[in-house]
């Protein structure tokens, strides 16, 4: 991703392919981050994903990421309280030729379903690696209160993408020229449950498949 306009819109730094892979590996080892490489769809009949084939360079389209933060009104150690957590999502489609083809929206929808299906495990891993005993205890019973996306004010594409999903702007433009778009966890649950109902009628498809090295 060497396009300066894309770097500006996504607040990204130019990385080599090996640096991208290393970034993904380090983030997977981190307890408060998840990252997924967005690739061309294999279609609904795929039973598995073979490394180097399904994610070959010419099939890569971008990435979608998830970060866990303590809610703004609570200190990181929880203060003896159950941790109230907020997730942050960002998505990037690297090449202009792949913009407005649905990759960004599909990636965020898939990530929302993944979080909804795997939230217990995500929070369990997060709690297990919190820095102090107090923080770990608070996070162990942690509650996801909502999701947010921080978007450059002028990035109309991303603002429109999250707006169509039901995210709404909270507050004004910050010091870094970003707007925050938010959705409560209850709203996320209703949204995803609606998609799952559509899946039963073959109007929506989501599947988690094994990644084989």
Three-class SS of residue 118?
A: helix
59 — pLDDT class (breaks 50, 70, 90): very high
Instruction: Quote the CA–CA distance of 43 and 10 in Å, as a whole number.
Output: 28
Instruction: Pick from 23-37, 45-59, 65-79, 155-169 the range whose average pLDDT is largest.
Output: 155-169
Give the pLDDT mean for 117-121: 92
What is the CA angle 7-43-23, rounded to 5? 35
**Is the pTM for the entire model greater than 0.85?**
no
Q: How many whole angstroms separate alpha carbon 155 and alpha carbon 92?
A: 12
Q: What pLDDT, on a 0 to 100 scale, did the predictor assign at position 131?
A: 61
Pick the CATH number of 4-204 from 3.30.1330.10, 3.40.630.30, 3.20.20.70, 3.40.190.80: 3.40.630.30
Q: Would you state the pLDDT for residue 212?
A: 74
Please check whether residue 41 is in contact with residue 209, taking contact to mean a CB–CB distance below 8 angstroms.
Answer: no
- So where are the chain's domains? 4-204
Average of pLDDT values for 127-136? Answer: 64
Split at pLDDT 50, 70, 90, the class of 207 is: confident
pLDDT tens digits for range 68-105? 998 765 555 545 566 789 999 999 998 889 998 999 99
The Cα 96–Cα 99 span in angstroms is 5
Q: Which residue is it, tokens 């978007």?
A: 151
């Amino acid at each position: 991703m060497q396009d300066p306009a894309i770097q500006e819109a996504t607040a990204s730094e130019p990385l080599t392919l090996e640096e991208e892979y290393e970034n993904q590996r380090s983030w997977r080892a981190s307890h408060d981050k998840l990252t997924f490489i967005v690739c061309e769809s294999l279609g609904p009949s795929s039973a598995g994903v073979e490394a180097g084939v399904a994610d070959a360079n010419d099939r890569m389209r971008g990435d979608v990421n998830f970060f866990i933060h303590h809610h703004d009104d609570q200190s990181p150690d929880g203060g003896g309280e159950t941790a109230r957590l907020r997730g942050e999502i960002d998505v990037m489609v690297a090449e202009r030729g792949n913009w407005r083809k649905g990759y960004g929206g599909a990636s965020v929808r898939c990530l929302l379903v993944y979080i909804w299906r795997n939230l217990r495990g995500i929070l369990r891993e997060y709690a297990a690696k919190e820095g102090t005993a107090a923080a770990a205890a608070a996070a162990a019973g942690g509650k996801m209160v909502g999701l947010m996306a921080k978007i450059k004010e002028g990035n109309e594409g991303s603002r429109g993408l999250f707006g169509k999903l039901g995210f709404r702007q909270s507050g004004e433009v910050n010091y870094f020229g970003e707007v925050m778009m938010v959705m409560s966890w209850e709203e996320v649950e209703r949204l995803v449950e609606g998609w799952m109902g559509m899946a039963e009628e073959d109007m929506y498809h989501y599947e988690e498949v094994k990644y084989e090295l």
